[in-house]
Amino acid sequence: MTDDAPRALLERLRAIDWEDEDAPYDHAESRAALLREHLRRTALWARVFGAELSWPYIDLAELIDPTVRAGNEVLAELRDYLDEEVGWPQVEATLVAAVHWAAFRSGTQVALPDLDDPYEPLLLMYERGGGFTIESGFIDLNGVEVRVKPLPAYASEEPVVALDSAALDTLDEDGLQDGEA
């Protein structure tokens, strides 16, 4: 296995503007929907692999096949990047898990269910306005709160949101219009 997929994801992460103070508010609705979609997807993965008790904060690649991990060179670069740019421990943990997931998807021999990528909505959420903090019972997205409900509340086959830019932009525009009314 090569580190091509984890390296490509690392480069994608490097393009995120963590300092944009307006983006979390400009994209509040889409970011909340993307977080709920991430929770939905990870709930389905957790159910399949018997990790309901670890959900929602889970490194799925380690759970499914702990022998396939991103290489040390990519992880060292990721750690440097996280130390310089991110600074939220919870966000950092999800980014490390996503990089391992990229290695896992390109290197595992485990037969996988036909489920959507659990980290893509989270990555899009970061790209649309940075991170989050975890509070008691909810996740704070810079002013928008997503309540963490029990896993069955998220384990739906029906997606929360389409991941295309137009659908996400429409959510944000509708949210702004609702907020202005």
Q: What is the pLDDT of residues 14-41, one digit of tens each?
A: 999 999 999 999 999 999 999 999 999 9
Strand partners, 93: none
Query: What number is the average pLDDT over the span 54-78?
Result: 94
Helical H segments across the chain, by residue range: 4-14, 23-26, 28-48, 60-64, 72-85, 89-107, 120-127, 165-180
Q: 57 vs 8, which has greater pLDDT?
A: 8
CA distance 66 to 112: 14
Both tokens of 33, joined, read: 């929907």
Q: According to the per-residue pLDDT averaged within each range, which of 111-125, 130-144, 166-180 is highest?
A: 111-125
Q: Which residue has the tokens 């959900």?
A: 55
